[in-house]
Amino acid sequence: MPTLFDPVTLGDIRCANRIIMAPMTRSRANEEDAPTEMNALYYGQRASAGMIITEGVYPNFDGKGYVRTPGIVTEAQIAGWKLVADAVHAKGGKIVMQIMHCGRITSRHNKPEDSRTLAPSTIQAKGEMMTDAAGMVAFEVPEAMTMAEIKQSIADYGQATKNALAAGCDGVELHCTSGYLPAQFLSTGTNQRDDDYGGSLDNRLRFVIEVLNAMTEAAGAGRVGIRICPGNPFNDLSDENPEETFRALIDRINPMGLAYLHVIRAKAGVDNIELSKSFDGPVILNESYVLDNGNRAIAKGLADAISFGKPFIANPDLPEKFRAGAELKAPDFATMYVPGPKGYVDYD
């Protein structure tokens, strides 16, 4: 029976263990939205994970949501990510970049002046987000994407994938939950289009399928994963029938042969672990796992690997701590999203 300490192959990515670092936005990119030596140090410190999934990275400027988050668009950004990938590889680790287009979950204060806020429909999300310039502000009112803008965004995911590989990443993950652009297309509450990208279930799935096609064309399916959390209401997301939506999505992606399905488990209304059984490839499960329940999920065949978020923040050597049965440190929430090294690269 495999445990968290055994190797696993996710598509084309061979991982030395099944302890995956979950994607975590830490808001510490530089003024060009590029990673720096400090970010390379942070990820390098965590390279003993079987695989690292990076924080969400935007594929075009419109897709930037949160303050000080990195992109994979410009030469400076690609060069910054190369520092990160090299640091992880130098220690024998693997790194996959999470591609995250926030759609309507953004503020103009957080992104370039000439960028826009695009979404499937002109429905503003309820809620606020943090900015450096103006503190907490309401989410923008989005513009409904034209057909040309949809096609451009899909192409941008493909180019972002190429750029991630050019930076040396081992693969990419589509962020398809938490109320961001792909989830906005999937869900009835945010997608009220009446063209090929909205209305019927098939039409709501189209954007995500075409984005995955663009990503797999760029990287090969064995280097592309997808993250989902059916029923996740985060960022004012609602769907009339998330279980039906995601069952259909999994049916549609099964023939693609993706590297993995990454599922956040704990949300009201949908049994996401049950749902993930219908995926034909490797499954990574996430949320509130520790050593014991992680090993149990693997032993039961529910997961091929487990991703850990918060535990990796304060315990860069998490696999070693698990091996030793050592007590885990708790992360400092006050420094989660602030600039600088404190609460970032100073855990040991």
- What mask of x and - would describe binding to ligand FMN in positions 164 to 183, judged by CB under 6 A? -----------x--------
Strand 128-131 with 135-138, pairing: antiparallel
CA–CA gap between residue 48 and residue 76 (Å, rounded): 27
Nearest residue to the partner ligand FMN, using Cβ: 309
Tell me: does residue 55 bind ligand FMN (CB under 6 A). Answer: yes
Q: Which of 35, 44, 50, 56 binds ligand FMN (CB under 6 A)?
A: 56
Shortest approach of ligand FMN to residue 203 CB, angstroms?
Answer: 25
Closest CA to 48 of 98, 8, 6, 88: 88
Query: Of the two residues 222 and 309, which places its CB atom closer to ligand FMN in the complex?
Result: 309
Query: Of the two residues 98 and 107, which places its CB atom closer to ligand FMN in the complex?
Result: 98
Shortest approach of ligand FMN to residue 196 CB, angstroms?
Answer: 27
Q: Which of 264, 284, 285, 305 binds ligand FMN (CB under 6 A)?
A: 264
Query: Of the two residues 182 and 309, which places its CB atom closer to ligand FMN in the complex?
Result: 309
Tell me: does residue 65 bind ligand FMN (CB under 6 A). Answer: no
Chain positions 71 to 130 lying near ligand FMN, rule: CB under 6 A, are 98
The yes-or-no answer on residue 180 being catalytic is yes
Query: Of the two residues 83 and 318, which places its CB atom closer to ligand FMN in the complex?
Result: 318
Closest CA to 311 of 298, 303, 320: 320
Total residues binding ligand FMN (CB under 6 A): 19
The one catalytic residue in 180, 197, 289, 344 is 180
Shortest approach of ligand FMN to residue 146 CB, angstroms?
Answer: 27
Query: Of the two residues 98 and 110, which places its CB atom closer to ligand FMN in the complex?
Result: 98
Shortest approach of ligand FMN to residue 53 CB, angstroms?
Answer: 8
User: Which range, of 21-29, 113-121, 193-201, 276-284, touches ligand FMN by CB under 6 A?
Assistant: 21-29
- What mask of x and - would describe binding to ligand FMN in positions 323 to 342, judged by CB under 6 A? -------------x------
Tell me: does residue 33 bind ligand FMN (CB under 6 A). Answer: no
Shortest approach of ligand FMN to residue 343 CB, angstroms?
Answer: 10
Residue 80 bridge partners (DSSP)? none
Chain positions 294 to 313 lying near ligand FMN, rule: CB under 6 A, are 308-311
- What mask of x and - would describe binding to ligand FMN in positions 194 to 233, judged by CB under 6 A? ---------------------------------x------
36 phi, psi to nearest 5 deg: -120, 180
What secondary structure, in 3-state letters, does the chain show?
Answer: CCCCCCCEEECCEEECCCEEECCCCCCCCCCCCCCCHHHHHHHHHCCCCCEEEEEEEECCHHHCCCCCCCECCCHHHHHHHHHHHHHHHHCCCCEEEEECCCCCCCCHHHCCCCCCCEECCCCCCCCEEEECCCEEEECCCCEECCHHHHHHHHHHHHHHHHHHHHCCCCEEEEECCCCCHHHHHHCCCCCCCCCCCCCCHHHHHHHHHHHHHHHHHHHCHHHEEEEECCCCCCCCCCCCCHHHHHHHHHHHHHHHCCCEEEEECCCCCCCHHHHHCCCCCCEEEECCCCHHHHHHHHHCCCCCEEEECHHHHHCCCHHHHHHHCCCCCCCCHHHCCCCCCCCCCCCC
Q: Which residues are catalytic?
A: 180
Q: Which residues bind ligand FMN (CB under 6 A)?
A: 22-25, 55-56, 98, 175, 227, 264, 286-289, 308-311, 336
